[in-house]
């Protein structure tokens, strides 16, 4: 007989994902449909990618219009979509210019290269150490794995790129000690650690990083791959902390479903990368940028207010509910510490038509930012019911 999609996947695709036993075929907004026609409310958002859900009409139109004009040129020529997107990113953040790539890991690679070059130019070749935080996640390339402050990701792939030192998140004494002991070029951090368990940094610690960075001309690099692009309730997560990073990296939700990464440079770092020092064949691709431009232009104050309200609503429903120990995170990037095993909860929710994710031992919620209150309410009631003791 003919193999089905799941059997073919197991035969032909590298076995790197423990997939759920669901074959998705279509969707609309926050509703996904599998091959049997069963519907699911999506609180995973393609891991924080589908900012406006599935098959969003405005986004589709922006992408298909561009697709019918010019799908790719290479960066040897000028094209409009990436320029307009860069302009909008700079206007909305106060950053000075942008390098485009295809993913969060690539955006972080670019930031690391720029930070090393800046420090070498300013302080000499032996200033290259980058501080990252325990529990962080910055990507799966050899260098961004080295930047990731979690041993479990490291051991099979050594030797990793040297030059990374890990500090305990929210531990000011540890931060000061490691900065004193090392010749530090930059501090790379996520204001909410996604893969690490949806844990947010304290106001005090973030302010302290900024203070030390300004004092010692250490670059501050905000990794906004998962928390960025409206998910926190502000355009970028760092904006909840009233700081100004020197470099901001982002990806995921920026493209609304197509691959795009962006590294934003501030005053200090805007002129570090010169012709020939960095590049990307697909970076700034017209189709991805047209989609991203549409997404970014729609993440306005009205939407951000809705994100904050939905976040409050989820918290009000789940805080202190039976079987839920704590809620962490910001905006529509939330982590639930549950009494029951998280994997069991995910399976039960899947069965009942709600898609949720894991982060460490927690449930992780990353719904599309424009999920309707009706769909959100239904999904949260399901989670509540499944978690209850």
User: What is the enclosing helix (H) or strand (E) of 146?
Assistant: helix 142-147
pLDDT band at residue 71 under the 50/70/90 scheme: very high
Q: What percent of the chain has a predicted confidence (pLDDT) above 70? A: 99
Rounded distance between C-alpha atoms, residue 280 and residue 320, angstroms: 48
pLDDT band at residue 371 under the 50/70/90 scheme: very high
Residue 33 has pLDDT above 70, yes or no: yes
pLDDT band at residue 246 under the 50/70/90 scheme: very high
At 389 the pLDDT is 84
Residue 56 has pLDDT above 80, yes or no: yes
Residue 347 has pLDDT above 60, yes or no: yes
Q: Are 258 and 51 in contact (CB under 8 A)?
A: no
**CA-based nearest residue to 334, from 365, 310, 295, 358:** 365
Rounded distance between C-alpha atoms, residue 89 and residue 293, angstroms: 9
Tens-place pLDDT, residues 81-93: 999 999 999 999 9
At 1 the pLDDT is 56
Residue 298 has pLDDT above 70, yes or no: yes
At 3 the pLDDT is 75
Secondary structure of the chain: what % helix, strand, coil (to 5)?
40, 20, 40
3-state secondary structure of 38: coil
Whether residue 159 is preceded by a cis peptide bond, meaning omega within 30 degrees of 0, is yes
Q: What are the structure tokens assigned to 257, written together?
A: 């479903």
Q: Are 364 and 20 in contact (CB under 8 A)?
A: no
Quote the mean pLDDT of the chain: 97
């Amino acid at each position: 007989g003919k193999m089905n999609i799941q059997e073919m996947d197991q035969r032909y695709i590298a076995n790197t994902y423990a997939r759920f036993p669901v074959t998705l075929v279509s969707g609309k907004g926050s509703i996904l449909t599998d091959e049997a026609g069963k519907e699911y409310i999506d609180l995973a958002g393609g891991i924080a990618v589908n900012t406006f859900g599935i098959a969003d009409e405005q986004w589709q139109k922006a992408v298909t219009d561009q697709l019918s004009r010019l799908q790719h040129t290479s960066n040897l020529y000028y094209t409009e979509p990436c320029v307009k997107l860069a302009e909008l990113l700079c206007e909305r953040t106060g950053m000075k210019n942008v390098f485009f790539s295809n993913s969060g890991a690539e955006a972080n690679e670019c930031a690391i290269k720029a930070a090393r070059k800046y420090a070498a130019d300013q302080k000499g070749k032996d200033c290259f150490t980058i501080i990252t935080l325990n529990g962080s996640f910055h990507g799966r390339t050899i260098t961004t794995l080295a930047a990731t402050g979690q041993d479990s990701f490291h051991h099979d792939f050594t030797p990793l790129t040297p030059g990374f030192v890990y500090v305990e998140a929210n531990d000011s004494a540890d931060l000061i000690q490691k900065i004193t002991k090392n010749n530090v070029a930059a501090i790379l951090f996520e204001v909410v650690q996604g893969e690490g368990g949806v844990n947010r940094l304290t106001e005090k610690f973030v302010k302290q990083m900024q203070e030390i960075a300004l004092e010692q001309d250490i670059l501050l690099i905000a990794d906004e791959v998962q928390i960025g692009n409206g998910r926190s309730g502000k355009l970028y997560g760092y904006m909840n902390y009233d700081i100004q990073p020197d470099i901001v990296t982002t990806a995921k939700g920026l493209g609304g479903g197509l691959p795009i990464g962006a590294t934003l440079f501030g005053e200090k770092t805007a002129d570090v990368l010169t012709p020939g020092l960095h590049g990307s064949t697909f970076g700034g691709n017209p189709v991805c940028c047209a989609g991203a431009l549409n997404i970014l232009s729609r993440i306005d104050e009205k939407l951000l207010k809705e994100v904050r309200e939905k976040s409050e609503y989820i918290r009000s429903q789940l805080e202190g509910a039976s079987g839920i120990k704590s809620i962490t995170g910001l905006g529509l990037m939330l982590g639930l510490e549950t009494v029951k095993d998280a994997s069991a909860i995910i399976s039960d929710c899947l069965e009942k038509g709600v898609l949720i994710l894991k982060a460490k031992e927690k449930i992780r919620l990353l719904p599309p930012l424009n999920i309707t209150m009706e769909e959100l309410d239904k999904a949260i009631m399901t989670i509540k019911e499944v978690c209850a003791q």
